[in-house]
Chain A
Amino acid sequence: MRFIVCVKEVPESIDVKIDLKTNKLQEEGISTTLNPFDQFILEEALKLKKDEDEIIAISVGTPQTKMVLMKCLALGADKAILLSDNVFMGSDSFATAYTLSKVINKIGDFNIIFCGQQTVDGNTAQVGPELAAQLKIPQVTYVESVDKFEGQKLVVKSQTDEGFKIVESQIPVLLAGIPPSSFTPSLPPLRNIIAAQNKPCIIWNFEDLGGPKDKYGSAGSLIQIIKVYYPPPRKKGIVIVEEPTTAVEKLIELLNKDKVI
């Protein structure tokens, strides 16, 4: 069996600044990590993996993205492929899914594609479903666990607004995973980090994937970002420091004045 896990490098903290001139996140100097949704689904893939199976982690990013792929290798993936090229820059979820589909087609045979349900930076939850559509395979989203995997069938538990549902699917299939609240990400031990340095981590560019250039990156994106801006700062609040009775009276007076009540 061959499992392909799609991962993304994301900012470690939500406290990131926006470059108002370029409409992009200021990436310089911020520490990044493996998208937690992706780590969860990688660990689900690892649970299914038998000795003869292969897990390939793939990501679209900058050369720095290699660090998150190395983490995937340290966690147990067998091989990693980084798609890095200026042509891929500015991709929206659609163009990202296209790029991933190209690399998956180039890899060849596969049995299950694993994606995080969403990323903690973009939060679109679109790449997995769009990738499944491009690969023309079925998909199950909001997957919390893979409960059974035998032969060509698997059974997964998928979260819904009301609770969860149990879904049975044939393979090949794409699973988009969301961690249950009980999930604690594994930490790779030192020996696995050392072993990861000897696992293949390949970098492919546009030339390696081929196809029309205007399908990739910002040219191939359906979404064009016109402007990114901070919400206007909130006005300074009013603090009433009085005895409770007086404070309530003053509060009512202010609310009346502003026609709130």
Chain B
Amino acid sequence: MELKFTEEQEMFRESVREFCQRKITPVALEMEKTREISIEIKKGMAELGLLGCTASPEYGGSGLDAVSAGVIGEELARADPTGSIPVFYLVQAAWGFVLNKYGTEEAKEEVFPKVIAGEYFLGIATTESDAGSDVGGTRTMIKKEGDGYIVNGEKMYISGVREAAEGGGGHLTIAKQNPELGTRGMTMFYLPLTADGITPTYIDDLGREGISCGGFAIDNVRIPKYYIIGEENKGFYIVHEGYEFARGLIAVICAAAGLKSLENGMNYIKERKCFGTAIGKFEEINFRLAEHYTRLNMLRDLAYKSLWTIDREQQGKGSRFETSKAIAMAKMFASDWACNAINDVMQWQGAFGYSKECPDQAAWRAIRSFALAEGSKEMMKMIVARELLGKEFIAYK
């Protein structure tokens, strides 16, 4: 057994880390106010090949596997406490993977070059007001008409709505094509947010200020046939591959953000004195540090293992269910463990920890979102239990 990254992955890490130190870390907290990722950062990410990095080289991508994509996510999470850039990156990496695997040649040739150049945003829009992790509850409808399709419905709590609606690009979306077939009647497709009939709305999120969150109404939007992702009525199964890619990246990102915050905390508790002694000497503090550090490294290992299961599955060496379980295990506690660590780091820093000048508060607000985003932690428990006990033990069946 050898647990190490490849030479290539170490080189990715070095290049991305240097980019982050130069371009992201010095200005990251400004995104709390500017509420956007600067053009300079997007351009730099594009030049380095970070955007849509999972797309195949024939479309301009680097064809990265899941573990390599995780290495990049980890570095971005260490650099940006607001979590905006990690989200901007991970969504396009994970759903780029789905578009690359299941999209038509025409769609890939149309979308990928612009995503990779940083001109388009490629997102995911499955959530609705009454359907989140329960994708089967989707109400948006798609129906065939002529040589294309008509879509009607509404999506909500979607990342990158402004980026795609104003800057160009779109979201991979799911809708019911044959409602009577339940989850077996759902189709996935690419929906440009610049299309006629799309009306965006925006939501003021608790964190991740540099990337927009919102929803959009879909009113008789016509899409061509080549925007369909995979086979019709197979959308429910395809969408889970994207979720799992994203969940694995999220688990790595949570571990990285938590560990980065602990580094901030360690620097502080070694210097800050109370009763004439460094507060890092108090067991109330250093025992907690030891526990958080251990837990977050367990999470990091589990997260990378989960991404490795995706790569194994893509190589035909693992099953869908093994991947689902490994990913759900990694994401289950990712947000909680990282948030608990960050919360303690804020506490150690006293009043400064509660101020907007403290980067850890931004990290806490960002990482809190991942207990919900791309599948709630409760849903992760349901997946693991289902894989352990069998489908007959699913509560809703």
Contact = CB atoms under 8 A, between A and B. Distances in A.
Contacts of B64: 190
Interface in B219-262: none
Interface string B39-65: 000000001111001000100001110
Contact of B62 (A67, A71, A190): A190
Interface in A145-193: 184-185, 187-191, 193
Interface stretch (B11-19, B97-105, B289-297, B354-362): B11-19
Contacts of A74: 11, 15
A70 B64 CA distance: 18
A191 B7 CA distance: 14
Given A33-B14, A193-B12, A194-B62, A187 B7 contact: no
Contacts of A197: 7-8
A189 B14 CA distance: 11
User: Chain A: interface secondary structure?
Assistant: helix
B301 interface: no
B49 A190 contact: yes
B19 A190 contact: no
Interface in B51-95: 53, 57, 62-64
Interface residues of B, number: 19
Chain B contact surface mostly: helix
Nearest to B68: A190
A105 B270 CA distance: 55
A174 B184 CA distance: 70
Given A33-B14, A187-B48, A193 B8 contact: yes
Contacts, number: 44
Interface in A8-33: 33
Contacts of B49: 189-191
A110 B212 CA distance: 55
B10 interface: yes
Contacts of B62: 190-191, 194
B47 A188 contact: no
Nearest to A187: B15
Contact of A67 (B10, B47, B53): B10
Nearest to A31: B14
A16 to B, nearest CB: 18
B57 A70 contact: no
**Which of B7, B53, B63: most chain A Cβ within 10 A?**
B7
A145 to B, nearest CB: 22
Contacts of A194: 8, 62-63
A190 B12 contact: yes
Contacts of A67: 7, 10-11
B14 A190 contact: no
A158 to B, nearest CB: 28
A193 B48 CA distance: 10
Interface of A: 33, 66-67, 70-71, 74, 184-185, 187-191, 193-194, 196-197
Closest 8 CB pairs of A and B: A190-B49, A190-B62, A189-B49, A193-B11, A187-B15, A189-B48, A191-B62, A191-B49
